[in-house]
């Protein structure tokens, strides 16, 4: 499984996403949209706005949070194949 995480240092939900991936043993490549204008443009092209964090899991884009709800833990577990405990 290949995972990319589009992030920015100031983004609380980005930090929570990386912590979730780390705590579950997933390797990922971080793409900082503040440092890479092309990455920022790619997020806008793919999702229509600069909404981060964004995950790309085996080529499939997924936004792991919803404004007002925070990180979507159940959806993340499902996408990543993590059994519910």
Ordered by start, the domain boundaries in the chain are: 3-80
Q: How far apart are CA 73 and CA 23, in angstroms?
A: 13
pLDDT tens-digit series, residues 59-78: 999 999 988 888 999 999 99
pLDDT digits (tens, 9 = 90+) for 1-35: 999 999 999 999 999 999 999 999 999 999 999 99
Longest CA pairwise span in the chain (Å): 40
The pTM is what?
Answer: 0.90
Domain 3-80 has CATH 3.40.50.11540: no
φ and ψ of 56, to 5 deg: -120, 110
Nearest to 28 by CA among 5, 52, 58: 5
Which DSSP symbol is given to 51? -
- What is the rounded distance in angstroms from the CA atom of residue 27 to the CA atom of residue 55? 12
* DSSP state, residue 48: S
């Amino acid at each position: 499984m290949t995972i990319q995480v589009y992030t920015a240092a100031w983004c609380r939900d980005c930090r929570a996403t990386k912590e979730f991936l780390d705590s579950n043993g997933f390797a990922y490549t971080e793409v900082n949209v503040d440092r890479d204008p092309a990455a920022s443009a790619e997020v806008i092209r793919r999702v229509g706005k600069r909404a981060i964090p964004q995950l790309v899991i085996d080529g499939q884009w997924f936004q792991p949070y919803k404004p007002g709800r925070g990180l979507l833990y159940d959806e993340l577990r499902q996408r990543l194949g993590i059994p519910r405990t």
